[in-house]
Amino acid sequence: MEQRKTRSRKALLPSALFTFATLALLAGIPSASSDVIVSTAIASLSKKLNPFILSDSSQSVPGTMAAQHQPPSFSSVVFPVYGNVYPLGLYYVSMNIGNPPKPYFLDADTGSDVTWLQCNAPCVSCSKVPHPLYSPVKNRLVSCDDPLCVAVHESTNHEGGCERPSQCDYEIEYQDHGSSVGVLVADVFALPLTNKSLGHSSLAFGCGYDQQGGPSNGPQGRSDTDGVLGLGSGKVSILSQLRELGVCRNVVGHCLSRQHSGFLFFGDDVVPSKGVTWAPMVSGVAQHKYYSSGPASVFLGKQLLSEKQTIVFDSGSSYTYFTNQLYQSLISVIRRDASKTSLKEAPEEKALPMCWKGAKPFSSVLELSKYFGSLILGFANGGYRAGMEIPPENYFIVTKQGNACLGILNANDVGLKDMNLVGDVSMQDVLMVYDNEKQRIGWARVQGCHRLTKFGNSPPP
């Protein structure tokens, strides 16, 4: 395939703040019955769903996917999730792609639409990844006039067009200045269904032959993942493609465990009928389809820190980011509260900018509840009101040295300006649901996200 010779400047996607220091904020209003409800909803799925198999031998690209066999009804797909906030700094899924299928680790990112793998096309700039580079098949290229090519260009603010009519070039740049350049291809994805059968769908994704920084280059040029799984609501996202195929409804959710595990799902069969706090989804945030429930008032305990703050939920970010004004207000109150305790600031700790040490090293983040109060995000969208509680264990980490570090960072440092970003650290042990069908976002605190990984068919790494 023809490779682009120039790299034009594109608008940044604040989604994937992929610096391995990042994983952040989200917690739901506690519900004593929510864990039972989730488990009950999952347990009943095997009695409700029918298996389906989509042809994996068709050579059609996504523009002609309507010709493939349709499943008899909507199903749901569940993948185990692996990773942690600290020290790894990301959560990822293992997906089997190709024919025959091969495993790849993908960074789960609700803040971007485009899924891509580091790719031997040949590769201009790739890091050392867990698996052999993906090798594309020439006759599986997505053409420049395919609707999905138009969608990927809209999603990434791509202005350079295509080098050739027969291929769709893309370039995506993330807020941490990491980037991927490549072409759009189609291949078969193996989908572990909630009834434990395995479906196959031909889906379009990026074959990235030139990666710079960000998720591609970790320490010593190594990466913990083979690419990115874009879970946004744009037409090019894997989720939207599966909806177009009739595989599952346009609903995605995740539950990220503190125990280095969790689960990710497509479809609405996993969503519990009770125990979830819902807020309307607001579209068009920051000229991109980020998952947001609109403006919120932010409290620490009973103290109001700020009002009318735009909140975005992003699983591609390790930590939470607050705008400069909100961040400074938060730091001021936390320092005031810490000064009334035995805690001392620990400038020698380099894991994150703001850290404290106790009389003895902390062994668990759960110990911090005696020193700090919960953050509250109060959403008010029209006549609709919803609250999200974020306890200290969802905005602090405990380092290898036993110090407590604030998992909320200054958004100005990464160019987010007037947008607050809730990352993985605040979504741990919280069931998050992004319902694009009903245009709503839901959350529920559960007792352990690791309990549902058994419903995915992908083996652990």
User: Does the reported pTM lie above 0.75?
Assistant: yes
**177 domain residue, yes or no:** yes
Closest CA to 298 of 342, 333, 254: 333
Are residues 225 and 49 in contact, defined by beta-carbon separation less than 8 angstroms?
Answer: no
Is residue 214 included in any domain, yes or no?
Answer: yes
Better-predicted residue by pLDDT, 159 or 122: 122
Each residue of 185-205: pLDDT tens digit? 999 999 998 877 889 999 999
Q: Which residues are catalytic?
A: 109, 314
| Contact in structure between 434 and 313 (CB atoms under 8 Å) | yes
- Least-confidence region, from 55-59, 104-108, 292-296: 55-59
Cβ atoms 10, 158 nearer than 8 A: yes
- Which residues span the domain enclosing 63? 53-78+87-249
The answer, yes or no, to whether residue 129 has pLDDT greater than 90, is yes
Q: What's the DSSP call for residue 262? A: E
Is 292's pLDDT higher than 90? yes
- Total domains in the chain come to 1
* pLDDT value of position 448: 83
Token readout for 111 is 């803040």
Question: In terms of pLDDT, which residue wins out, 13 or 202?
Answer: 202
Q: What is the CATH number of the domain that holds 73?
A: 2.40.70.10
Cα–Cα dist 388/371, whole Å = 20
Does the residue 181 lie in any domain?
Answer: yes
* Stretch (H or E) spanning 298: strand 291-300
Query: What is the tens place of the pLDDT at every residue in 275-289?
Result: 999 999 997 665 457
The answer to whether residues 197 and 48 touch, using CB atoms and an 8 Å cutoff, is no
pLDDT at residue 65 tops 90: no
In a domain, 461, yes or no: no
pLDDT exceeds cutoff 70 at 444:
yes
Instruction: Tell me whether residue 298 is in a domain.
Output: no
Domain presence at residue 66:
yes
Inside any domain, residue 434: no
Burial code of 331-363, b = ≥16 C-beta within 10 A, e = fewer? bebbeebbeeeebeebeebebbebbbbbeeebe
Assess if residue 205 is contained within a domain: yes
Segment 130-175, tens digit of pLDDT: 999 999 987 899 999 999 999 999 888 887 788 899 999 999 988 7
**Paired residues of 356 in beta bridges:** 345, 404
Query: 246: which DSSP letter?
Result: T
Cis peptide bond upstream of 361, omega within 30: no
Exposed/middle/buried for residue 66 (C-beta within 10 Å: 0-12, 13-18, 19+):
exposed
More confident residue, 31 or 246: 246
pLDDT band at 335 (very low <50, low <70, confident <90, very high): very high
